[in-house]
Chain A
Amino acid sequence: MQKTLKKYFPIFALPTLAAFAVSFVVPFAMGVYLSFTEFKVVNSSEWVGLSNYIKIFTTDETFLHSLWLTVKFTFVSVISVNIIAFLLALLLTKGLKGTNLFRTVFFVPNLIGGIVLGHIWSLIINGILGIFGVDITYNPEYGFWGLVVLMNWQLIGYMMIIYIAGIQNIPDYLGEAAAIDGATPTQVLFHITIPMVMPSVTICTFLTLTNSFKLFDQNLALNGKSPETSLLALDIYKTFYDHTGLKLAQWHGMGQAKAVIFFLLVAVIAFIQLRATRQREVEH
């Protein structure tokens, strides 16, 4: 069968591969190349070696700031989202009636797009701050915590569902045996539930990690104007599109270099995730 199927390459694989080449493979390869050049448009570039990479870490004022802000934001979001989602999952697996309804409600924010989410929270946060006569641009801290609240609102329901699946997979006899041995609910939580849901913890940690690290739409809609509250993805976008004039080619080169660093950081996270999941698979 393999031989006959092989001849059908143009029907089965070609359309997808053509689209994949045009929208991903070629742009990716060109993107890596252009990070070592200065260019106004993609087809006319001038080789400058590592100079873009040196500039973004030395003379550029926004890159390191947005990188540090993104790391802080990701750290806070991962911890808060996962703790709250896990506690909610515990409440919803107590065998109460009507838990499905709550599950449905908590998942709703996850369906709404980032731009709309950002504008909803912009109205609410500015509405609250308006009572004190200021708005979200008044203090960068407001923008930061606004994003954290938004991220929690969006992701908690999603992570909760994964935790619920994890908790429901724990065999009943473990809890029953512990109860016969006289274990308290706290002991059951720390010695049975939490160790048994560790695979879900790994999945949820990395999902929140990559989602927070790559955040763009929400950031743009909620507090995108200020460079002080621009996360990495938005900073890259602004480096490309917020400049005009003579130095445009330099900005484009720097933007592409930032994008390569951003990609490498995301790749490292993905690699660690792969290792973490593989290890666990071996253990079981």
Chain B
Amino acid sequence: MKKSISKSLIYILLFFIAVVFLAPIIIILFNAFKSNFYISSSPFSIPNADTFAGFDNFIKGFTQSDFMRSFTNSAFITAFSVAGIVLLTSMTAWYLVRVKNKFTKIIYYLFVFSMIVPFQMVMYTMTYYAFEFNLNNPIGIVFIYLGFGAGLSVFMFSGFIKSIPTEIEEAATIDGCSPVRTFFSVVFPILKPTAITVAILNAMWIWNDYLLPYLVLGSGENKTLPVAVQMALTGGYGNKDMGALMAMLVLTILPIIIFYLFCQKYIIRGVVAGAVKG
């Protein structure tokens, strides 16, 4: 009897905390359905017959703020950067672990070192070189992300590769496989769990990144979603269309939450693995 009372108390407590956790998102969602005037006058009320604006805000948010354009930019940059990082850094990690000499050792420690350097340290100089080498476009930035993502990714792949016995690879080589073939048909399949972790960590970081794409791509037609959100919500005093902005926030969060609900297991596992190793 005593146990079931304490159990229900824990449930009530957890339920209450869950409401607190979701409240900010729910408030934004409610406001996205209210007409402009009511967002500023009563931000915490639930939409009712007077304040309900239907999908007007979403239509405005979609059309006014370049939403689709920046969404496509973000999706393109994230997809290609993550694919490039997973493919190329796993190859590099294998090379660095299997070819043992002074050079590979130094390179490996440089990658590890880069993980602790805050972005502000290289912010100004990196932006200069990005423009100098014509990397200030959605394709060029993929190359920059490869450079920035390399530290953590090489580190995580290397950690796993060190635990793989070399016998399998040697057998493949004796059978006449070139290193390229050995890597893709023997090594990479074994790396798959780490590859998923690396992909998730980089995808979350690149999709949400603000400062790097802002400095390199600017706020013009190449801007990414976080940059578009920041522009929309800080620019132009007085005539801000709050309804459209709320809808824009909802539209930005929605894809992430849907993605999360589908690959929850991998995301949580990946983030924890990244935390423990990084």
Asked if residues A109 and B180 are in contact (CB atoms below 8 Å), the reply is no
Asked if residues A112 and B256 are in contact (CB atoms below 8 Å), the reply is yes
The SS class assigned to the A binding surface is helix
Min CB–CB distance B208 → chain A (angstroms):
3
Chain A interface extent, by class: 35 or more
Contacts A96-B11, A111-B257, A162-B272 known; A9 to B95 CB distance under 8 Å? Answer: yes
Asked if residues A26 and B129 are in contact (CB atoms below 8 Å), the reply is yes
Interface residues of B in 133-182 (CB under 8 A from A): 133, 135, 143-144, 146-148, 150-151, 154, 166, 169-170, 173, 178-180
Asked if residues A27 and B126 are in contact (CB atoms below 8 Å), the reply is yes
Report B-chain residues with C-beta under 8 Å of the C-beta of A111.
Answer: 204, 256-257, 260, 267
B68 at the interface (CB under 8 A from A): no
The SS class assigned to the B binding surface is helix
Asked if residues A130 and B43 are in contact (CB atoms below 8 Å), the reply is yes
Interface residues of A in 90-134 (CB under 8 A from B): 91-92, 94, 96, 102-116, 119-124, 127, 130
Min CB–CB distance A87 → chain B (angstroms):
10
Contacts A31-B121, A203-B276 known; A109 to B21 CB distance under 8 Å? Answer: yes
Report A-chain residues with C-beta under 8 Å of the C-beta of B13.
Answer: 91
Which A residue's beta carbon lies closest to that of B169?
Answer: A1
Interface segment, A12-20, A53-61, A138-146, A176-184?
Answer: A12-20
Contact with A along B97-116 (1 / 0, CB 8 A): 01110000001001100101
Asked if residues B147 and A22 are in contact (CB atoms below 8 Å), the reply is yes
Which A residue's beta carbon lies closest to that of B227?
Answer: A115
CA distance A270 to B44 in the complex (A): 42
Asked if residues B146 and A259 are in contact (CB atoms below 8 Å), the reply is no
Chain B residue total in the interface (Cβ 8 A): 89
* 8 Å CB contact of A20 from B120, B129, B150: B150
CA distance A253 to B211 in the complex (A): 20
Kindly name the residue among A26, A113, A115, A158 whose own CB sees the greatest number of chain B CB atoms within 10 A: A115
B185 at the interface (CB under 8 A from A): no
CA distance A102 to B20 in the complex (A): 12
B210 at the interface (CB under 8 A from A): yes
CA distance A11 to B124 in the complex (A): 30
Min CB–CB distance B58 → chain A (angstroms):
16
Asked if residues A19 and B146 are in contact (CB atoms below 8 Å), the reply is yes
B96 at the interface (CB under 8 A from A): yes
Min CB–CB distance A145 → chain B (angstroms):
16
Report B-chain residues with C-beta under 8 Å of the C-beta of A189.
Answer: none
Nearest 9 pairs of A and B residues by beta carbon? A113-B208, A23-B147, A127-B43, A19-B147, A27-B125, A12-B95, A19-B146, A27-B122, A27-B126
**What are 24 residue pairs bridging A and B, where the CB atoms are less than 8 Å apart in the complex?**
A11-B91, A12-B91, A12-B179, A17-B107, A20-B151, A23-B148, A24-B122, A28-B114, A43-B128, A91-B13, A91-B14, A105-B18, A106-B21, A110-B271, A112-B208, A114-B226, A115-B230, A116-B252, A119-B249, A120-B249, A130-B43, A158-B271, A259-B118, A260-B121
Given A2-B99, A5-B95, A21-B147, 8 more pairs with CB closer than 8 A: A1-B170, A9-B95, A12-B95, A23-B146, A106-B18, A162-B272, A207-B275, A217-B208
Which residue numbers of A lie inside 8 Å of B, CB to CB? 1-2, 4-6, 8-9, 11-13, 15-17, 19-28, 30-31, 34, 41-43, 88, 91-92, 94, 96, 102-116, 119-124, 127, 130, 153, 157-158, 161-162, 165, 203, 207, 214, 216-217, 220-221, 233, 236-237, 240, 252, 255-256, 259-260, 262-263, 266-267, 270
Which residue numbers of B lie inside 8 Å of A, CB to CB? 7, 10-11, 13-14, 17-18, 21-22, 24-25, 27-28, 31, 40, 43-44, 88-89, 91-92, 94-96, 98-100, 107, 110-111, 114, 116-126, 128-130, 133, 135, 143-144, 146-148, 150-151, 154, 166, 169-170, 173, 178-180, 183, 204, 207-211, 226, 229-230, 233-234, 245-246, 249, 252-253, 256-257, 260, 264, 267-268, 271-272, 275-276
